[in-house]
Amino acid sequence: MQTMRRSTAALALTAAAVAVLATGCADSDGGSSDAAPQGISTHGTGKVTGTPDTVTVVLGVQTQGAEANVALAENAQRASSLIETLKGKGVAAQDIATSNLSVQPVFAPGGTAITGYQVTNQVTATVREVSKAGELIDAAAGASGDAIRVQQTSFSIADDSELRAQARARAVQQAQAQAGQIAEAAGVGLGEVRSITEVPAGTPGPSPQAGMAFDMAPSTPIEPGSQELSVSVEVVYEID
């Protein structure tokens, strides 16, 4: 009698296991039928060019002295003269910022003995009239003398929203043209847009110039040239 009960219980457990497996298979089949339909994915890039209207100049004042406080005092005087000159040339106070200040020991050649101290004060100025940038740099050099250093210059477009809108439109148009070509080659219809994603991309700027002593010239020429902006998008279309 006990043997029959054990057999009955075993059969019941086996039947329950089969039922669970059957249910899992059914759920699996149902999930595959609800999978998202395949689509056509394309990538487009739109490019436009514009003329920079802003120049950022990093000017350095470098002094050296036998003692740190002597080098600091001279640097403070020359840096203050530089900043006042920038303001006098029309650069707004909010467009002038100290970007770096350092005091470094100067060592004797091939040795560890300290022979003096070097102080560097970097000032970043944003000039919103590119045509005045050369005149401003000349004036800065005159205010700081041989201590002036032109560390870096870079150009940008203050408001590039309209240019970026044009680049986006071109990027979407390019992606749509590519999707149409793919659909035609595959012998299928191009359906509705499923998604559009803008791919973040930076705009490379000009290479920074190495810091060097500024050689006075009659007039320093500053030419902004042109700047390219690009926008990339990824577009997924349905297949009809």
Q: Average pLDDT of 146-169?
A: 93
Q: Average pLDDT of 165-172?
A: 96
Q: Average pLDDT of 169-194?
A: 95
Residue-wise pLDDT tens digits, 52-97 = 999 999 999 999 999 999 999 999 999 999 999 999 999 999 999 9
pTM of the model: 0.62
What percent of the chain is helix, strand and coil (3-state, nearest 5)?
40, 35, 25
The whole-number pLDDT of residue 224 equals 82
Residue-wise pLDDT tens digits, 230-240 = 999 999 999 98
d(CA 190, CA 184): 8
Are the C-beta atoms of 190 and 118 separated by less than 8 Å? no
Are the C-beta atoms of 168 and 199 separated by less than 8 Å? no
Q: Which residues contact 54 (CB under 8 A, 6 or more apart)?
A: 126, 127, 128, 130, 155, 156, 157, 158
The whole-number pLDDT of residue 201 equals 66
The whole-number pLDDT of residue 35 equals 52
pLDDT at 158 over 50: yes
pLDDT greater at residue 220 or residue 44 = 44
Residue-wise pLDDT tens digits, 1-22 = 444 444 444 433 333 333 333 3
pLDDT at 125 over 90: yes
Least confidently predicted of 76-80, 148-152, 159-163, 200-204? 200-204
Residue 227: beta bridge partners? 50
The whole-number pLDDT of residue 94 equals 95
